[in-house]
Amino acid sequence: MQGEPAVIGSAKVSLSARTHEYSAGAESGTDGTVEFGGLPAGEYSVFARREMPIGAQKKVFTGYADIFVEGTGLVSDTLYVSTVTVNALMINEIYYCGSNYASFYFYDQYVELYNSSEDTLYLDGCILTRNFPTVEGDLEEIDHVRAIYAFQFPGTPVTGREHPIAPGQYVVIAADAVDHSRYSANAYDLSGADWEFFNPMGSDYDVPGVPNVSNIDPDRTTDFMINLSSNGVVLATGEEWYIEEYINSSGYPGTRVTLPLYTIIDGVEYTSNSDNTKELTMRVDAGFAGVGCAKYSGAAVERREVGVDTNNSTFDFVLIPRGTPGYTHVQ
Ligand SMILES: [Ca+2]
Ligand SMILES: [Ca+2]
Ligand SMILES: [Ca+2]
């Protein structure tokens, strides 16, 4: 993200509390200032956004800051805004928390990708992962990310042209591409998913007619399942990866998939608790999505704005009460 001079003029500014239920929005004056009054004490995130048309294209400037309001008195801060990527393949939505308290149902998890570019892109050989949750050493000094699970699209990475994603297209990859509402109330109907995660090494059900994104670690027999509260999902080109052996915290040997940082297209880390330790390098994702997301609520995290990626999920993602597989909540 390159720093740019602050945009003076009218910007949309929104504020949401991190420690309690509160949100507000306002438009800044032409001098770029905005004021919110009567805020309860607590921690807040403040987001600013300004869109400038440049011919037929648009340029979006965004920025955010965290502020702490201590009872009475004035708190002021300056938000610096930068232009953001609006031209890439990206993770647009993740639904992970489960949909039914009574039956502990979470088999309807899915990941949604989006092509925000003006060109057809290709999913050939791309890898989607469940991030490895343990941090060893300094996360910011390691030039790769690790995965507990890694699943790969068919085709040749980078050069393959068999699995297109059109400009503006959403692609849903379901844990299992079935109508889960047949098994559990409030669960998602994913029978229309574009792809499904499939592990031929396990007892995973292979829905006929729905193409598979398949497990690549022969020591893993599980389907693609991600944690209901805290985890990360990474999208990589798939051009380079290897399987690494390690000893887990209980002293048992295991395997994980390692992906060099340069192959990472996008990554999103989520947690219900913002006090948790980051497990995905800030070079991929600088902040958490999903703070406050309740297990089995059926909620999902989706990009605040279609195609806007600042590599900080605290800013880029909002919690939506119900997932939108194949479309967006953005009006
Ligand atoms: Ca599956
Ligand atoms: Ca299938
Ligand atoms: Ca969606």
Within-domain flag for 5: no
Task: Judge if 149 and 235 occupy the same domain.
Answer: yes
Number of domains forming the structure of the chain: 2
How high is the pLDDT of residue 4?
A: 46
How high is the pLDDT of residue 7?
A: 44
**Which ligand is the nearest neighbour of the Cα of 180?**
1
**Which ligand is the nearest neighbour of the Cα of 222?**
1
How high is the pLDDT of residue 63?
A: 79
How high is the pLDDT of residue 29?
A: 84
For residue 282, the enclosing domain spans: 89-320
What whole-number distance in Å separates Cα of residue 114 and Cα of residue 166?
A: 9
323 neighbors 298 (Cβ within 8 angstroms): yes
CA of 214 to the centre of ligand 3 (A): 22
CA of 198 to the centre of ligand 2 (A): 7
For each of the chain's 331 residues, which pLDDT tens digit applies? 344 444 456 888 888 887 788 888 899 888 888 999 888 888 888 888 887 765 555 567 777 888 889 888 888 888 877 776 556 899 999 999 999 999 999 999 999 999 998 899 999 999 999 999 877 778 888 899 999 999 999 999 999 999 999 999 999 999 999 999 999 999 999 999 999 999 998 889 999 999 999 999 999 999 999 999 999 999 999 999 999 999 888 899 999 999 999 999 999 999 999 888 899 998 899 899 999 999 999 999 999 989 888 888 998 999 999 999 999 999 8
* Residue 88, token pair as written in the block: 């890439």
**Which ligand is the nearest neighbour of the Cα of 149?**
1
> Of 25, 50, 83, which residue sits at a domain end?
83
Within-domain flag for 1: no
* Cβ density class 245-284: b for 16+ within 10 Å, e for less: eeeeeeeeeeebbbbeeebbbbbbbbbbebeeebbbbeeb
Task: Judge if 72 and 126 occupy the same domain.
Answer: no
How high is the pLDDT of residue 223?
A: 96
Task: Judge if 109 and 230 occupy the same domain.
Answer: yes
Task: Judge if 76 and 96 occupy the same domain.
Answer: no
Task: Judge if 143 and 23 occupy the same domain.
Answer: no
> Of 83, 108, 138, which residue sits at a domain end?
83
Q: Give the pTM.
A: 0.83
Within-domain flag for 308: yes
Within-domain flag for 329: no
Strand, coil or helix: 269: strand
Within-domain flag for 291: yes
How high is the pLDDT of residue 308?
A: 85
CA of 167 to the centre of ligand 1 (A): 27
The length of the chain, given as a count of residues: 331
Task: Judge if 207 and 76 occupy the same domain.
Answer: no
**Which ligand is the nearest neighbour of the Cα of 193?**
2
CA of 230 to the centre of ligand 2 (A): 27
Query: Judging by beta carbons within 10 Å of its beta carbon (0-12, 13-18, 19+), is residue 137 exposed, middle or buried?
Result: exposed
Task: Judge if 236 and 167 occupy the same domain.
Answer: yes
* Residue 272, token pair as written in the block: 């219900």
**Which ligand is the nearest neighbour of the Cα of 108?**
1
CA of 14 to the centre of ligand 3 (A): 22
CA of 220 to the centre of ligand 1 (A): 13
**Which ligand is the nearest neighbour of the Cα of 303?**
3
* Residue 303, token pair as written in the block: 């990009």
> Of 51, 83, 115, which residue sits at a domain end?
83
Task: Judge if 72 and 146 occupy the same domain.
Answer: no
Within-domain flag for 2: no
**Helix residue spans in the chain (DSSP H):** 313-316
CA of 36 to the centre of ligand 1 (A): 47
CA of 34 to the centre of ligand 3 (A): 31
CA of 170 to the centre of ligand 1 (A): 19
Which CB contacts under 8 angstroms, 24+ apart, belong to 9-13? 9/50, 10/50, 11/48, 11/49, 11/50, 11/61, 11/81, 12/48, 12/49, 12/50, 13/46, 13/47, 13/48, 13/49, 13/79
Task: Judge if 220 and 139 occupy the same domain.
Answer: yes
Task: Judge if 103 and 232 occupy the same domain.
Answer: yes
Within-domain flag for 325: no
Strands 317-320 and 300-303: what pairing? antiparallel
Task: Judge if 190 and 259 occupy the same domain.
Answer: yes
What whole-number distance in Å separates Cα of residue 65 and Cα of residue 104?
A: 36
Task: Judge if 56 and 178 occupy the same domain.
Answer: no
CA of 199 to the centre of ligand 2 (A): 10
CA of 136 to the centre of ligand 3 (A): 33
